Amino acid sequence: MQESEVFSTVLFTLGPVEVTDTVVTTWGIMVVLALACWLISRHLQTQPKKIQVLAEGIVTAVEENIEAAMPQYSKAVVPFIMALWIFLVLANLAGLIPGLHSPTRDLSLTAGLALLVFLSVHWFGIRTQGLKRYLQHYLTPSPILLPFHIISEITRTVALAVRLFGNMMSLEMVALLLLMVGGFLVPVPILMLHIVEALVQAYIFGMLALIYIAGAIQSQQLRHEAKQEQMQSPTKTLSQKVTQADKDNEE
């Protein structure tokens, strides 16, 4: 097994910048997605054809999954999570094309995606809750927990990148080893394994990103609602006492 068959290789250089096959494949996927979105949205019809029905089915399925996790802010998160899911599916399946490798087998790409999720979590949290109220949860219930909150943010981002990279790398290595041992006698099982694993890994990565974003938004919302209830409870208690006293006087 050659090292270039597993790890990314440099295809050409642009001055001091080395362009690997991961970069080329990633940009190719983005171009294909941009063209597909442009073509589908350009020819929308009231009586949709098969391609439009497929696209609408994908959008509906993604929206239902997101609404189940965070119904109140689903519309704001749908574009990001949908783009992430579709890109990961195509990137993971790119290894099935002869001469190409899945760009997600490269740690640099999975680290970039994990960093994008990390930034998106805080972006959506600040956007919905405000900067001050969002940052307060790092000091809740005690400022002593601030280092642990920061460590948690870093470790889950690293785990998100390493999980996808390790699974896709091991999948391609297993496929290459089986092809070396059995030749083309076992192509169908390997193909099915690759497809299933690619879809599962894309779904897991997107769901974890959705859970992190939902946690950043809803946890602050719940704390704010609980705080408002605590502030209003003395007033409610007093009003209930006054009402009860009025009833006693009438009797």
- pTM for the model stands at 0.79
d(CA 26, CA 88): 10
> Which pLDDT belongs to residue 230?
54
Per-residue pLDDT of 207-249, as tens digits, reads: 999 999 988 887 555 555 545 555 555 444 444 544 554 555 4
Q: What angle do CA 215, 217, 223 make, to 5 degrees?
A: 90
Residue the block writes with tokens 């080329």: 24
Per-residue pLDDT of 34-81, as tens digits, reads: 998 888 888 777 777 888 888 888 888 888 888 888 878 888 899 999
Per-residue pLDDT of 138-185, as tens digits, reads: 887 788 888 888 999 999 999 999 999 998 888 878 777 776 776 666
